[in-house]
Amino acid sequence: ASHCLESVEPKFAKQVKEGDIVVGGNNFGLGSSREQAVQVLKKLGVVAVIAASFGGIFYRNAFNLGLPAIISGDVDQIAADQILEIDLRNGSLKNKTSGDDLTIEAVPENLMALIEAGGLVPFLENKLTKKS
């Protein structure tokens, strides 16, 4: 985790705080075939990642580990240190610093269920426990 995203932002791991949201561009997480790419973001306190698009494996790993991966065509309207408010269910993103309402893709119900459960393993544990 101490080296997370250091090739993009050398001070990222030292500066990220609990509750922060990472904003990326196209194909965020491309080539990250291991869950650790998502795990370190969560360990550092990141609560969501917003990007123009995601690498497929990273995208699914994010939801499997309970980290929202949010697609938005408006990421270029977000600057560092701005305060964002996300409503996953309604597909809305408010830039509280600029006052802008930005667009995001609503998270599908099946992936929302994973987020609400805290990831795939807790989701399955809950599902199996209810059947017993």
pLDDT digits (tens, 9 = 90+) for 35-83: 999 999 999 999 999 999 999 999 999 999 999 999 999 999 999 999 9
Query: What residues have CB less than 8 Å from 128, skipping those under 6 apart?
Result: none
For residue 131, pLDDT beyond 90: no
Rounded mean pLDDT, 110-116:
95
Amino acid at 112: M
According to the model, what pLDDT value does residue 132 have? 63
Distance in angstroms (rounded) separating the CA atoms of residues 38 and 60: 10
Taking each continuous run of H as one helix and of E as one strand, the counts in the chain are 5, 6
Burial label for 117, CB within 10 Å (0-12, 13-18, 19+), is middle
Note the pTM of the prediction, 2 decimals. Answer: 0.92
Whole-number percent of the chain with pLDDT over 70: 99
Measured distance CA(12)–CA(15) in Å, rounded: 5
pLDDT band at 98 (very low <50, low <70, confident <90, very high): very high
